[in-house]
């Protein structure tokens, strides 16, 4: 036990220099105009508070030391002084106005989402983010990429433990990016500290916020509104790149999406291996968090798929389960419906589960079979 701990501590210490610095005691190094303003505002108010603190508690500790009975001090019986009472009402008031003025300017700047160079919609799901580049037509999901082994302590934790995703948001440096947030199920919040953006994502409504990255780099954040079980496991990663590189990325993404569209086109004849390969990707995106890469799940809440009666039994039953979720005693269980996936995706992932781990059914489920069972 101690050995494992020591190893982890050493690992933590080894990556410490990379992470250490002022960031540990203060706001993260600001990387956008708004983040700079927030940083300066925080510093200003911090300094004012420290000065007040020293003055007020200087007086208190002076009294505590000098006006003790043990020091022979006799109590004086005064109990009011109108002048001083008015003074200590007015002076804090003036100090507050001094703080509010720069804050007001920043608030107005933060709310100015006009004239963006690009608009990205971030949709919160339990528990991953979905992104849509509205004008470019790019869409993808972004889920935690940290392997399960690291969470459970069976593998050493990487430098970006819990702050890494499979598909980061890519944005051009120096361009105004407008983020529109919404959510699919409960309230989430899209937060990247270094860019000075935090915006709740509310189901059924859109909200907007913006940032402009000062320089190229990878900026990491997390969901900042309790959204259920895996609230701590839906990070946000923004990669700011040079505009030319961004253009290339957009083109690449668009081509890939077109390919998937062609690949999933209705009428395509699928082989078992093709379905399995496609299904593995779907599984990694939507199923792995609960049912685990090993297919063993974490019973009793998340049952194993490997050796499961549903997965090795009648395929219609499994298709129904994936489409409709599992309802027990009139209550939705953790197995949510996955109707939002396409016929191809569902067929592929079911094929994958029926032919992985200890499951060897040899079944290939075709998209049309899924379509037929949609209610």
Partner 1 sequence: MYAAHAHDQAHGDHAHSPGGIMRWITTTNHKDIGTLYLWFSFTMLMVGGVLAIGIRAELFQPGLQFWRPEFFNELTTMHGLIMVFGAIMPAFVGFANWQIPMMIGAPDMAFARMNNWSFWLLPPAACLLVGSFFVPGGATAAGWTLYAPLSTQMGPGMDLAIFALHIMGASSIMGAINIITTILNMRAPGMDLMKMPLFVWTWLITAYLLIAVMPVLAGAVTMVLTDRHFGTNFFNAAGGGDPVLFQHIFWFFGHPEVYIMILPAFGIISQVIPAFARKPLFGYASMVYALASIAILSFIVWAHHMFTVGMPAAGQLFFMFATMLIAVPTGVKVFNWIATMWKGSMTFEAPMLFACGFIFVFSMGGFTGLMLAIPPVDIQVQDTYYVVAHFHYVLVAGSLFAIFAGAYFWIPKWTGHMYDETLGKWHFWLSLIFFNITFFPMHFLGLAGMPRRIPDYALQFADFNMVASFGGFGFGLTQLIFLAAVIKCIRGGEKAPDKPWEGADTLEWTLPSPPPYHSFETPPVVK
Partner 2 sequence: MVNQAQLNLLTLRKLLIVAAAMFGFGYALVPFYQKICEVTGVNNVIKADEVANTQIDVARFVTIEFDSNLRSHLPWTFRPLQTNVRVHPGELTTVSYEIRNNSARTVTGQAIPSYGPQVAGRYFRKLDCFCFTQQTLQPGEVRQMPVAFVVDQGLPGDVNTITLSYTFFEVEGTAKQAGG
CB of 369 to partner 2, least distance (A): 12
Pick from 177, 195, 181, 32: nearest CA to 117: 177
Stretch touching partner 1 by CB under 8 A, among 166-174, 178-186, 240-248, 270-278:
178-186
By CB under 8 A, how many residues form the interface with partner 1?
101
For partner 2, which is the closer residue by CB, 157 or 371? 371
Handedness of CA 23, 25, 27, 30 (dihedral sign): negative
Give the list of residues 6+ apart from residue 365 with CB closer than 8 angstroms, or none.
275, 315, 319, 347, 348, 350, 351, 354
Sole binder of partner 1 in the list 83, 89, 114, 115 (CB under 8 A):
89
Closest CA to 27 of 15, 13, 42: 42
Planar angle of CA 211, 213, 216, nearest 5 degrees: 155
Q: Is 119 in the site for partner 2 (CB under 8 A)?
A: yes
193 binds partner 1 (CB under 8 A): yes
Kindly state whether residue 368 participates in binding partner 2, applying the rule CB under 8 A: no
Residue 288 in the binding site for partner 1 (CB under 8 A)? no
First-to-last CA distance in the chain?
Answer: 52
What does the DSSP 8-state code read for residue 365? -
285 lies in the site for partner 2, by CB under 8 A: no
Point out which span in 41-49, 254-262, 340-348, 358-366 binds partner 1 (CB under 8 A): 41-49
Among 123, 142, 353, 359, binds partner 2 (CB under 8 A): 123
Pairing label, strands 169-172, 177-183: unpaired
C-beta of 363: minimal distance to partner 1 in Å? Answer: 33
What's phi and psi for 120, nearest 5 deg? -120, 130
Buried b or exposed e, range 116-139, using 16+ CB within 10 angstroms: bebbbbbbbbbbbbbbebeebebe
Answer for which of 47, 54, 263, 301 binds partner 1 (CB under 8 A) is 301
- Give contact residues for partner 2 (rule: CB under 8 A): 111-116, 119, 121, 123, 125, 132, 134-135, 137, 178, 180, 182, 184-185, 203-208, 324-325, 327, 332, 336-337, 339-340, 342-343, 371-375
């Amino acid at each position: 036990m101690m050995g494992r701990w020591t190893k982890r501590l050493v690992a933590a210490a080894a990556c410490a220099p990379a992470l250490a610095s002022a960031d540990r005691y203060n706001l993260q190094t600001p990387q956008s105009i708004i983040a700079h303003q927030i940083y300066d505002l925080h510093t200003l108010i911090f300094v004012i508070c420290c000065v007040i603190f020293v003055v007020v508690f200087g007086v208190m500790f002076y009294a505590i030391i000098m006006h003790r009975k043990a020091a022979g001090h006799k109590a004086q019986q005064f109990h009011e002084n109108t002048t001083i009472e008015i003074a200590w009402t007015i002076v804090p008031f003036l100090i507050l106005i001094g703080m509010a003025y720069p804050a007001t300017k920043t608030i107005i700047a933060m709310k100015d989402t006009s004239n963006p160079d690009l608009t990205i919609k971030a949709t919160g799901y339990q528990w991953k983010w979905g992104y849509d580049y509205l004008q470019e037509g790019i869409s993808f999901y972004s889920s935690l990429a940290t392997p399960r082994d690291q969470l459970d302590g069976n593998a050493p934790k990487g430098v970006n433990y819990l702050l890494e995703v499979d598909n980061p948001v890519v944005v051009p440096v120096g361009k105004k990016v407008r983020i529109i947030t919404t959510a699919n199920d409960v309230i989430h919040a899209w937060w990247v500290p270094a860019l000075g953006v935090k915006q709740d994502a509310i189901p059924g409504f859109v909200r907007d916020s913006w940032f402009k990255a000062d320089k190229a780099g990878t900026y990491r954040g997390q969901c900042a509104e309790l959204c259920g079980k895996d609230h701590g496991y839906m990070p946000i990663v923004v990669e700011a790149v040079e505009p030319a590189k961004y253009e290339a990325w957009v083109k690449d993404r668009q081509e890939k999406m077109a390919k998937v569209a062609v690949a999933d086109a209705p009428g395509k004849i699928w082989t078992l291996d093709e379905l399995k390969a496609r299904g593995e990707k779907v599984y990694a995106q939507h199923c792995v968090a609960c049912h685990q890469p090993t297919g063993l799940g974490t019973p009793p809440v998340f049952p194993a798929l490997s050796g499961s009666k549903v997965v090795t039994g009648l395929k219609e039953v499994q298709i129904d389960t994936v489409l409709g979720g599992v309802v027990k005693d009139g209550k939705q269980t953790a197995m949510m419906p996955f109707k939002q996936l396409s016929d191809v995706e569902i067929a592929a992932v079911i094929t994958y589960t029926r032919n992985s781990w200890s499951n060897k059914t040899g079944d290939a489920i075709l998209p049309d079979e899924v379509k037929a069972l949609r209610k």
